[in-house]
Structure 1
Amino acid sequence: MISQNKLAVTFIALLLSNLLFSQQQSHLDAVLKQKAQQYKEQPYFYKAQQFFIAKNWDSTLVYSMKQLALRNNNEIADYCHYFRGFSFKNKGLNEEGRKEFETITKNFRFNYKVSLYLGEIALEEGNYQKAIAYFKEIDKLPQTGHYDFKKGVVYHNIGLSYLHLNNFKDADHYLSEGFSLLQAEKDTVSLIGAYMSIANLYYEQYKDDMAIPYFKKAYDFSKKTNNPQLKMNTALNMAVVAENNKDFTNALIYRKEYENWRDSLNDQNKIWAIADLEKKFMVTQKEKEIDILEAENKLKIAERNGFFYSSVLLLILFGTGIYFYRQKSKTNKIILSQKNELDELNAAKDQLFSIVSHDLRSSVNALKNSNNKLLTSLEKKEYNELDKLLHHNNSIANSSYNLLDNLLHWALMQTKQFYFHKESVHLHSIVQQVAYNYTPLMTDKNIHFENQVPKSIFVFADQSSLKIVLRNLLDNAIKFTREKDHITITATISDDYCTLIVADSGIGIKKEFLEYLNSETDTVSKKGNHEKTGTGLGMQLCRSMIKKNDGQFHIESEENKGTVVRIQLQKVKKNE
């Protein structure tokens, strides 16, 4: 009985410690964004803070470690150690998190957060004296400061630490203080934890009459929340109380409720849980029957007991066999699926590298031959030829740069390191910005360009990836459009979507190659007119980025009649 109570106390201690910063993180996030701008020359620090705010703990650990490998001032080092300590703690690696937090200097701006986290780690590891010391440091902070934590939760955790140490007097004081503060804040989830902790305090002292009302309040309050962990814990406490009061009917109800919540959280074997509960209940019933019928028929009672235990054992064995069989089947399916995906990715990677290396070699060879001609023309002072060759070299360099840039973005997409942040984007301005960079190329080919996107349209998309898509489409349109042709970008809107249309009157795309470009998985290479080359990587990158933005991407083209690319994006509604 007491061991179950202590289990409940330990669980609630961990739960409320995790609520310390659940409500107010905006202040820290704002400061981190300022620091990222202040140290924008440190790319690893910038990425580490972005991934930290996005709660991507693995990437945060990678980039903070890369930053720490460089020469840093104390402030950057403190922030990087804070990122790592918080990430380790959220991944359940308390020992590594504690080492990182203890490395932070006393001049760190958010040093009080470090003390709070060290207190949480000590509480989770059962080092209660150390936890009290850390939490009391927080209690001594000046009242005039602005701190993003709940003091009621801090008092609650101090009280829990004293409760674990069987110091009931101090536990009563701090738990009561914490309860008063949490009640004033009307925080339902924290109040449930406070009710349960006070109940356990009285229960540990065998003051059942005082404890049971608090258990009951915690149970009733948990019905108003969506937190299955609290529902499970309160149901367990009520079951223990009912069992001690010999109220086995209600005890069974609470036990079943507890088991249901536990199974929903931990995916445990439900057959074992129900069988165990039925066993306990039936054993109790059989013991009563034995007391009544013992004098009449001891042999029959022994047979019944033997049959009962055999049935339970068979049920347990059967349930365990089914569970392990399903787990093995599930694991085999996952392994097979991952193997197939890996084979597909390796095939795509090998094909892509083969194509890219071939095109890069061709570009470098063309640049080498052109440079030889350039030297010859320079010696002969043929300035007209020099001008043509320089423009030709520039075209080759731009093509190679675009190929490498697309390859970089493709690699970031494949490794899930490309950061997406969807927001409201003014479509006309984005098109105008991207087109401005291509004005010299369009002027050189005497191409007529029109931005006909209505200025009233806003789309919900990631701005950086949308610019990459537009750059690829404009670059292709200019490359495969003849002199004095035209390029037009327009947009149409429907109820929930906006369709961006990029159209050119260029050489178009052959039917068989168009099928490849509209394919979801193929990466191909092609040679069109005038020996212009491409890998198809740019279009695949565009398709992937538009899909990441919850949009659709489709190409329409006819040879010698131009190309039309349609991009469907989510429209920003007026009320948003």
Structure 2
Amino acid sequence: MICSRLSLFIILLITTLLSSAQDKRVFDSLELIYKTHRSTDSDFEILNQLAFHANNPDTSLFYARKCLESSSENYQKSYSYSHIGNALRLKGDYLAAVDAYLTALDYAETIVTKSTCLLSLADTYSITGNHPNAVKYYQQAISGLESNPEQLANALINLGDEYFNVGVLDSALHYFKQAGQLYEQIGHATGIAYNLGNIGLVYAEQGKSDAAEANIQQAVSMLEEMEDYYGISVYLTYMSDIYRDKGDFSSAQKYCERSLRLAENYGLKEQIRDASLKLSELLEQGGDIARAYTLHKQYVAYRDSINNEETIQKIADLRTEYEVGQKQAELDLLTAQQRIERLFMIGIAILAVILLMLGAIIFKFYRQKSKINLELERLNETKDKFFSIISHDLRGPVMSFMGISRMIKFLVKNKATDQLLEVADDIDNSVQRLSGLLDNLLNWAMQQQGHFSNVPEKISLRELCEDLVKTLDTMAQAKKITLEADISTDIHLWADRNSTMTILRNLVSNALKFTPEGGSVRLSATCEREYAVITITDTGVGISQDKLQNLFRLQAKKSTYGTSGEKGLGLGLQLVHEFVEMNGGLIGVHSKEGEGTTFTVKIPVYEHVQDTTSVPS
């Protein structure tokens, strides 16, 4: 029995035979227009028609790609990819064709365009024997073709034929009947005829000989009116099979001879082959051995001829397949090489990033190490200066105690006890100097280690200055120096009490130390925005300009002597500077040799801090 898309094949064959010459003329005209009267605005329309009317799949593919290049709208891209898919399917590149149809489907905007793409996908899957996908896309296409009866009928007949090819006869018959109803509604005579023949083939497979005969006979009658001899020959052969199965060998022979005559008249080789074989078998059964032998020889001749053509075609197909395989192998090799190159480049990039990160880490490490080394050098230098000062300035008070001890022994031995009172005064002075030196030393050491407590609180500057004047008044009277504090308004500081007292005590002590007898030291204060400005002014010897540049740095040389030979540890002003910064303040100095010195200290005031940070009182 003849099978495999008979209806679709015959319809396409007829369409091709009737329209090929006309399409060639249309294509030639369009190509002439495209080459001689090109216009950018009309390029797409002309290229679209060229891709549609081209008889050669390579030519169609060429113009379809040109059409895609000129596409700007989605519907234009959908048409272009559909043409590309059609050309690739004709060339046998089904995988690429499916990809093109799916792309066309993505760009499709209307239901009809989408359904057309789905129908093309279904046909491609049917040709490649992928029944599940063919049925899936035929059904999706059918759901969108209700507004186009002719395309809907073609989709239904193709779906029925798909089920017929896999032996699902009930479904095939169902869809053939639906297609037949649509062909009758639109008056499509060719579609009606072939659909009747298809239904007859289903009945024949189901064993319903009478129904098969009626449908095929009706299809033959309609095809005779249309002079479609290929279809008539095919269906007459089926009629012969039906009558032979019934045992009516005479009718079977009559239909077979009629099929053979038509095939011979119109040069239908395959039908001559099939009809010759069937008729030789019927004649052999009827006893006409001579004619049966002749027809069998004719069958063998046509079979060999067709087989030779098929063999040649298979060889050509194999060659094409080999060439395609070679190209695919080359493509796979190129793809693999590109993948390896990409991986290699990625590896180099990753290695470069790692090296850069490692370099950055090493650079940061050495930079940090350099900073640490510089800090260690600074600390080591500070340590050397510190020990130099200690070895020089602390030795004085200690040695004075040794001298006083010897003096006491001498006075006691000579019973000059009345002079012991003067020695006691010397002891007091030495103790005070040593105590001050040790206090500064301890505070500075704690500050350097970060252990000095810094607890800001509200401090009355007036009270602080009055306490300081009381503490240092004895020292001032000893040198007949006028020491006074002029704090007209009660200013409140926001600072640590102990460090603030140390700042003022060191500055006033230094002022007393370097002010000669009969001089004066004065404390005053005013408010200037967020700071309390405290000034300590003396009428002392002043400070040279070269010493002013390093005044707040720890120096290795020994301390400067005061106007009465007083010594300091050399830490006082550095401690003042660090404590001022610790409290968020500023310090400055103005001095002129022979006239005196003025230190200016700025400490944050409580009211300003309270306004900005809501500090509780």
Q: TM-score, normalised by structure 1?
A: 0.45
Name the larger-Rg structure.
2
More helix by share: 2
Greater relative contact order (CA < 8 Å, ≥ 6 in sequence):
1
